[in-house]
Structure 1
Amino acid sequence: MDPHPESPVVLQVLPSLVTGGVERGTVEITQAIAAAGATALVASAGGPLVAQIQRAGGTHIALPLKTKNPWRIWHNADALAAVIRDRKVSLVHARSRGPAWSAWLACRRTGVPFITTYHGTYDESLPFKRHYNAVMARGRIVIAASHYIAELVQTRYGVDPARIRVIPRGVDLAVFDPASVTGQRIAKLAAQWRVPDDARIIVLPGRLTAWKGHRVLLDALAILNRPDVMCVFLGSDQGRHRYSQSLTQHARQLGIAERLRLVGHTDDVPAALCLADVVVHASTKPEAFGRVVIEAQAMACPVVAADLGGPVETVRHGETGWRVPPGDPATLAAALRVALDLSPEERTALGQQARASVPTVQAMQEATLDVYESVLNGTV
């Protein structure tokens, strides 16, 4: 991003900075803005990742943006308009719907360019949901996390393709590098998860919610019928204790409860992926991108992914992983058998191809800064 007169000031807005792909992307773009010599502001309700925003060279502005209340959204628009004027903001980048409405209103009042990143597929089953979601398609430029999302935005809202930029999320290959993970880190996780030394480990990363396909994997594990295989659900239930309990009960009914581990959140995802023999993405609804898939590929770990949404674009079937029909335990079990039976040479070759194919954080940062520069220079 070339210097703008008086150096550009970019404001990113999102609900909070707790955890998740949106939040991590915000930190990564904050780092890129600061490295380019511009001013990086982030407005949110706060959270543990505020410290990472500050370490990345950004400034956090605490606002109660984690809301869907229309009155509060309107009030937040006033607050954001004041921030835009006081901080001489050049451009606003909205990353979530509630804050995006406030930011869009604030940009209309101040004349500052408004862009969005369309991160999710966004359910439209309830009345007025399409209208609520539509703000994410109102950016001067709409950044889509995948070609799947770009097509969705065009179909739902009739957005001109010239206004859409496909910028996949990226992996930091220095962090997600199998060569950098020590045996001590792997052994520590193995002990925490209570997995035997000789176990083969299948990991499904992601928060515990029904559409992530945990039951599908349990059914596949029962079909696989391999006593040496352990199944690890890596992610928080975020208070969905009934769902967690239902998974344990389902495993018990299938006779595989002793081979299931619900381990919650981990701060050492690279080590978790190194410990895995196979990583599974089993979502039954399409995902905008699927960051866990490319993180596993970066760690040269075999991946079996549901054949829908973003992972279709990042997993080449039989070359960098396998794709299976969503919600199909039998086909998933068959793919898991193939992945588990790879020879060391086959596993190495697949891992090398997968790691070489993943989109990187650097590419995502550079493409996003190019969008900012185009908007600030008035070329779009």
Structure 2
Amino acid sequence: MSGRPLRVLLVHPGAGLYGSDRMLLEAVRAVVAAGSRALLVVGEDGPLVELARRAGARVLVRPVPVLRKSALSPRGLLGLTGRSAVSAARDGALLRRLRPDVVYVSTLTVPTWVLLARAHGVPVVCHVHEAEAQASALVQRALAAPLLAATRLLVNSEYSRTVLTRSWPVLAARSGVLPNGVQGPAGPVPPPPAGGPIRLLYVGRLSRRKGVLVALDAFARVLADGLDAHLDLVGDVFGEHADFGAELADRLRDSVFEGRVTVHGFDPDVYAHLARTDLLLVPSVLPEPFGNTAVEGVLAGRPVLVSDVGGLPEAVAGVPSARLVPAGDAVALARALVDAAAALPDLQERAAEHAPVAARRFAPERYRAGVVEGLQSAIPARSRRWPGERPVNGR
């Protein structure tokens, strides 16, 4: 097609390499591969920044007002309003200078960008990766209210969409489900050699809501019952949850875990850890909108024990080697661990057979195509020049 490449402004609150961060990176790749110019505004510096630049985006690190539940208190709301007012003038000037064809807002936690872009007449696609179903109805409506200004919504699971449209039914007509695209391992991942302790793995934020303490309680039970096992924890404690980090450290000092638990910290190479793993645990206590970690386990051909809550069942739907466990129930998780250990060879065979199926279902290429389709649907037809332009490598 003729004409200049589309200009896409992407906005993301953080710069880590967890679930929504990785999906933002895939969105950048989608934009660049479609021949359009990608500018990423990110709220902090971190490993995502360099990866986005390598993917072809120009990256601008600047403060991004983030809507958290704490901001819904009078004091929190006052602080957010002040930060939003300061950023509105600066970010409005950026919009006028760049004149993007569409703005892609990653997560509903940066609502000021949705409102600001629409105020400047720019179409907005918001990609929703949250589902705060445990919050009060009033809080849920407040969190989702800015999305009423969005042109188009992409949502990462049917569960997330249900939570969203329960608050604002009018959003159903402009939203579509796009399951996350998850990069699999470079090739088949053989199971660890038989013999020795059964290797269990937890990957993700070390937090209460992710069920780390539930996993430890279940692990202590199976050790007491004589199961020879080792648990690896891969992840870190979010900065504002230092109190939980202290509680976790105290729990790990229990003598029952001596020589049985290894804490690795954050590591982006999940598959290196999965290669040494027999069973993956995804023990979330509160609803998750999706389950990237569960999908990574399936892609690596590993049996997975997953909490039956939120969007996690969608992530492992139809996977013969996945087992759903009641959320927050250490006794049930311990029982599932013992059962899975007894059936491990059969579960491993089923997991290996299903991995290629999951690789097609969650292919990053499928995800990128969905992002492009969502962005294109938000742009008036007369303005579309996409796809077909030559990649511009972020210039």
Q: TM class, shorter-chain normalised?
A: 0.7 to 0.9
How many Å apart are 1:90 and its aligned residue? 0.4
| Mapped partners of 1:98, 1:166: distance in 2 | 18
Shift in alpha-carbon separation, 1:312–1:98, aligned structure 2, 3 A: closer
SS at structure 2 position matched to 1:276: coil
* Equivalent residue number for residue 309 of structure 1: 310
Asked if 1 retains the 8 angstrom alpha-carbon contact of 2:340 and 2:347, the reply is no
* Equivalent residue number for residue 368 of structure 2: 365
Correspondences of 1:291-330 after superposition (within 5 Å): 291-316=292-317, 319-330=320-331
How many Å apart are 1:347 and its aligned residue? 1.1
Q: Deviations over 1:296-318 (max 9, x none)?
A: 11111110000011111122377
AA in 1 matched with 2:157: S
* Equivalent residue number for residue 85 of structure 2: 74
| Mapped partners of 1:180, 1:333: distance in 2 | 26
| Mapped partners of 2:136, 2:205: distance in 1 | 22
| Mapped partners of 2:356, 2:295: distance in 1 | 8
Asked if 2 retains the 8 angstrom alpha-carbon contact of 1:16 and 1:66, the reply is no
- Are 1:179 and 2:185 matched, yes or no? no
* Equivalent residue number for residue 216 of structure 1: 214
| Mapped partners of 1:160, 1:324: distance in 2 | 32
| Mapped partners of 1:318, 1:295: distance in 2 | 12
SS at structure 1 position matched to 2:302: coil
How many Å apart are 1:53 and its aligned residue? 0.9
**Where do 5+ consecutive residues of structure 1 fail to align?**
188-196
Asked if 2 retains the 8 angstrom alpha-carbon contact of 1:199 and 1:229, the reply is yes
- Match 1:10 to one of 8, 15, 20: 8
Asked if 1 retains the 8 angstrom alpha-carbon contact of 2:321 and 2:348, the reply is no
Shift in alpha-carbon separation, 1:27–1:316, aligned structure 2, 3 A: closer
How many Å apart are 1:22 and its aligned residue? 1.8
Asked if 2 retains the 8 angstrom alpha-carbon contact of 1:117 and 1:136, the reply is no
Asked if 1 retains the 8 angstrom alpha-carbon contact of 2:144 and 2:164, the reply is no
* Equivalent residue number for residue 229 of structure 1: 229
**Where do 5+ consecutive residues of structure 2 fail to align?**
68-79, 383-395
* Equivalent residue number for residue 284 of structure 1: 285
Larger displacement relative to structure 2 (336-345 or 30-39): 336-345
AA in 2 matched with 1:221: F
- The percentage of aligned residue pairs carrying the same residue is 25
- Are 1:107 and 2:117 matched, yes or no? yes
- Are 1:264 and 2:265 matched, yes or no? yes
Shift in alpha-carbon separation, 1:318–1:50, aligned structure 2, 3 A: closer
* Equivalent residue number for residue 180 of structure 2: 169
Shift in alpha-carbon separation, 1:248–1:79, aligned structure 2, 3 A: closer
How many Å apart are 1:113 and its aligned residue? 0.5
- Are 1:91 and 2:89 matched, yes or no? no
After superposition, the CA RMSD in angstroms is: 2.7
TM value normalised by structure 2? 0.83
Asked if 2 retains the 8 angstrom alpha-carbon contact of 1:42 and 1:58, the reply is yes
| Mapped partners of 2:83, 2:121: distance in 1 | 22
AA in 1 matched with 2:115: L
| Mapped partners of 2:356, 2:148: distance in 1 | 32
| Mapped partners of 2:82, 2:274: distance in 1 | 44
Asked if 2 retains the 8 angstrom alpha-carbon contact of 1:115 and 1:138, the reply is no
* Equivalent residue number for residue 335 of structure 1: 336
Asked if 2 retains the 8 angstrom alpha-carbon contact of 1:29 and 1:365, the reply is yes
Shift in alpha-carbon separation, 1:347–1:137, aligned structure 2, 3 A: farther
* Equivalent residue number for residue 38 of structure 1: 36
Shift in alpha-carbon separation, 1:96–1:90, aligned structure 2, 3 A: same
- Alignment: residue pair count: 362
| Mapped partners of 2:366, 2:352: distance in 1 | 21
AA in 2 matched with 1:335: A
* Equivalent residue number for residue 191 of structure 1: none
Asked if 2 retains the 8 angstrom alpha-carbon contact of 1:170 and 1:362, the reply is yes
| Mapped partners of 2:168, 2:51: distance in 1 | 35
AA in 1 matched with 2:188: A
SS at structure 1 position matched to 2:88: helix
TM value normalised by structure 1? 0.86
SS at structure 2 position matched to 1:212: coil
Asked if 2 retains the 8 angstrom alpha-carbon contact of 1:73 and 1:98, the reply is no
Shift in alpha-carbon separation, 1:22–1:343, aligned structure 2, 3 A: closer
| Mapped partners of 1:168, 1:368: distance in 2 | 11
Shift in alpha-carbon separation, 1:235–1:136, aligned structure 2, 3 A: farther
Q: Deviations over 1:231-268 (max 9, x none)?
A: 12211013445423433443555833442222211132
